[in-house]
Amino acid sequence: MSSDESSLEFDMFEDMRRTLTRILTEDGRDPIEAERISFYVMQGLREVPKLMQALGRAKKPAPETLDLLRDVLDNASSLGRARSMLLGLDDQVLH
């Protein structure tokens, strides 16, 4: 949890992570793999709502908006990791 993230926001993302883990496990994923995928997805999405709010209220570009965009793009690689795991690409690279 970052210093500017509220406890309520943290709880919301944690609930979503647990839900996604459960869905992936029920779909046949290994529980550890499901946890990892869910973690990567939530890490990749965490800053997106903040960026959307900033863009929705911004009349002109603000430094905070660009900082949020950088955060979203920095975390985008986590979504790529989740995608690779879901598609089984991690296994292909290891073998």
pLDDT of residue 93: 46
pLDDT of residue 4: 56
Q: Would you write out the chain's pLDDT as a tens digit for each of its 95 residues? A: 455 567 888 899 999 999 999 999 999 999 999 999 999 999 999 999 999 988 888 677 678 899 999 999 999 999 999 999 999 876 554 44
The rounded distance, in Å, linking the Cα atoms of 50 and 68 is: 7
Whole-prediction pTM: 0.79
**Integer CA distances (angstroms), 27 to 7, 13, 55, 70, 90, in order:** 30, 21, 36, 34, 19
The rounded distance, in Å, linking the Cα atoms of 75 and 41 is: 10
Cβ(36)–Cβ(23) under 8 Å? no
